[in-house]
């Protein structure tokens, strides 16, 4: 919940005009995702993701291997919500987008 609140503050101060929505969704018992949406387009989402990666305060309580920052399309997000398991999507993302 602390990260979700920090993201809300980050959004207000840095991306306030975009009216971004932040939500927390549990996938499985040990998997949760914080979703930030809705961006006008992929380029806006990339700018946001890069700004977030450069902010070390939000995730300071976590080791880099304990979280991932990534973009996901609306269609892939729907599938993720159906599957309720982030690990297959992370493997897909790493092979296709990194």
Read off the pLDDT of residues 9-67 as tens digits, 9 standing for 90 and up. Answer: 999 999 999 999 999 999 998 899 999 998 999 999 999 999 999 998 999 999 999 99
Stated pTM of the model: 0.87
Give the side-chain half-sphere CA count within 13 A for 95.
Answer: 6
Q: Answer yes or no: is pLDDT of 84 > 80.
A: yes
Residue 75: its pLDDT value, please?
A: 92
Domain ranges of the chain: 2-97
Intra-chain end-to-end CA distance of the chain, in Å: 28
């Amino acid at each position: 919940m602390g990260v979700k609140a920090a993201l809300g503050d980050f959004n207000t101060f840095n991306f306030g005009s975009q009216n971004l929505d932040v939500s927390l969704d549990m996938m499985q018992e040990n998997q949760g995702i914080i979703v930030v949406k809705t961006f006008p387009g992929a380029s806006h989402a990339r700018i946001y993701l890069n700004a977030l990666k450069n902010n070390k305060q939000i995730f300071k309580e976590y080791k880099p291997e304990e979280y991932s920052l990534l973009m996901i399309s609306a269609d892939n997000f729907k599938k993720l919500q159906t599957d309720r398991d982030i690990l297959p999507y992370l493997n897909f993302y790493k092979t296709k987008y990194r």
